[in-house]
Amino acid sequence: MPDLFDAIKNRRSIRKYQARPVAKVLIQEILSEASWAPSAHNAQPWRFIVLSEDSSKRGLAEVMAKSWAEDLIKDGQKIDDEMFHAKLERFATAPVLILACLTMENMTRQPDHKRQNVERDLAMQSLGAAMQNLLLTAYKKGLGACWFCAPAFCKETLKKYLEIPKEVEPQALVAIGYPAEKPEAPLRKGLGEVCFRGKWGCTF
């Protein structure tokens, strides 16, 4: 069983999966671990929608691909049919999709706009912690996963398609399955590039 440090260093973003179903109990265990993430005010502002049926995955993939294409057209760009199909199939054929959503339901209601925006930042940070738990747990269980930010660009489309309440926001999509690829480790910045001592710019 991989330990924590192994999971942190060796987990990879997996985009290709075996044609092998993922047991419901594994997804439940992954989501349970995700829900143990720390959160501001213990508000637990994450909500997850699991899609494992072929029809629901393909339907979601189609509305997202259409939204992506519409944005390109608005930008005056030409739609590449091959790329459109690749984006659609990437999600439609993944064994499991998990849509991660954000809710401000249990976050503190601040009296002014500035501090309320900070509350939203705290909720987003909390959701990010849950997503990291999710990815590490998937790896621990021998599964591959990839975090996609595409839902952030088509929130209203997904809310309508999945009947998500007005106050809940789709934020990210995680595809999960048994890995069918072994990506190499990506280059990481050294501590000297990302860490400072005392104040910005001072060598750590």
Domain boundaries, the chain: 4-194
Question: Do the beta carbons of residue 46 and residue 132 sit within 8 Å?
Answer: no
**CATH fold label, 4-194:** NADH Oxidase (3.40.109)
Burial class (CB in 10 A: 0-12, 13-18, 19+), 112: exposed
What's the pLDDT score for residue 2? 56
Q: How far apart are CA 191 and CA 71, in angstroms?
A: 38
What's the pLDDT score for residue 79? 83
In the numeric block, the tokens 């199909």 are attached to: 85
Q: How far apart are CA 91 and CA 15, in angstroms?
A: 9
Distant-in-sequence, close-in-space partners of 64: CB < 8 Å, separation ≥ 6: 87, 91, 150, 151, 154, 157, 158
Express the helix, strand and coil content of the chain in percent, nearest 5 each: 50, 15, 35
pLDDT in tens, 112-157: 999 999 999 999 999 999 999 999 999 999 999 999 999 999 999 9
pLDDT in tens, 58-98: 999 999 999 998 998 999 988 888 888 888 999 999 999 99
Instruction: Provide DSSP, 164-177.
Output: --TTEEEEEEEEEE
Could you give the count of Cα atoms lying within 13 Å of 162 in the half-sphere of its Cβ? 30
